[in-house]
Amino acid sequence: MRKRIAIVGASGYAGAELTARLAHHSGAEIVGVYSSSEPGSARFETIHPSLRGSNGPAIEKFSKDALKAGDPDFVFLATPNEVSAEIAGDALELGATVIDLSGAFRLKEKADYPIWYGFEHPAPHLLKDAVYGLTEWCNGELRTASLIANPGCYPTSVLLALKPLIPFLDREQPIICNSLSGVSGAGKKSDLAYSFSELSGNCKAYSVGTHRHIPEMKQNLELATYTPFVFTPHLLPTVRGILSTLNVAFLTPRTGSELIESFNKAYSSSPFVHVKPLGELPQLSDVVGTPFAEIGLVLLNGGKRAVIVSAIDNLLKGAATQAIQNFNRACSFHEAEGLR
């Protein structure tokens, strides 16, 4: 049975990718698309070039009444953090399952939102019920979830690369993460810092020690409070893609085969995570435009340390296609439905 889908924020970068793929999903019927950037009603096909000639509902300005009229089973929120935090409850009240692509429900403690996101959470009662949707590390809870918090793009690249190694880590040694992202990760904005003239031929670090994805990563790595975790994001002069380089230390020396076996065991049934042979490292061109994550590692210091490199498309595996993976699992569809 096809699920009735509404997408709020359909004209943003991630929202457009989400809409394009759900439009061709055999288990989905799009009954509503909403955007604050479209004056009045706009044609469905204007959302994404691949939808040219497609039939679908006109783009509308979001309201609870408009959402109710569509009677959706699932509501995807590809909206800013504050917007998702405000309207998720409206969708839940209508009986829909919400898959939120923002950071509005990723952190469990309401006190963290003013610190890291700059606003008081308007619906803190929903935080405890939100399921964190790092798909490959969910174990059936998506089927009963009413609110799914899609992971951030940086955390997706970092968590997929680190979680299989958690049992081996020396938690008294720093975990150092350097991540480089294409500028689309910041969304559609006219800020000078994200303009072509500022970024072309350039690369720069930003939000060092203050990036809002830091508590999300620490929370989901279950790191001890004394474990140093250093995350430095960088902007690349590219549109999309994330490359994360992670430097870790182990309690005891490890062999390459042991670590690769740990990755293969974790992702043996995961169609969208590929682990490279020891010593082979991914690059952005491996993943841009695809729903895949590529992971590789190199051992250092006689097996006492390792450098792990992961690569994803920030708009796909870091946002839209991971949301569809979560939708597929929630509905017991094949995980790759709509993504191949």
Please give the positions annotated as active site: 153
Give the whole-angstrom CA distance, residue 32 versus residue 6: 4
Structure tokens at 159: 């968590």
Backbone angles phi, psi at 334, to 5 degrees: -60, 135
Give the whole-angstrom CA distance, residue 136 versus residue 257: 22
Give the whole-angstrom CA distance, residue 217 versus residue 172: 17
Give the whole-angstrom CA distance, residue 282 versus residue 274: 10
Structure tokens at 97: 């399952």
Which among 289, 178, 297, 312 is positioned nearest to 242, based on CA atoms?
312
Which among 200, 160, 198 is positioned nearest to 179, based on CA atoms?
160
Under 8 Å between Cβ of 280 and 149 = no
Paired residues of 232 in beta bridges: 178
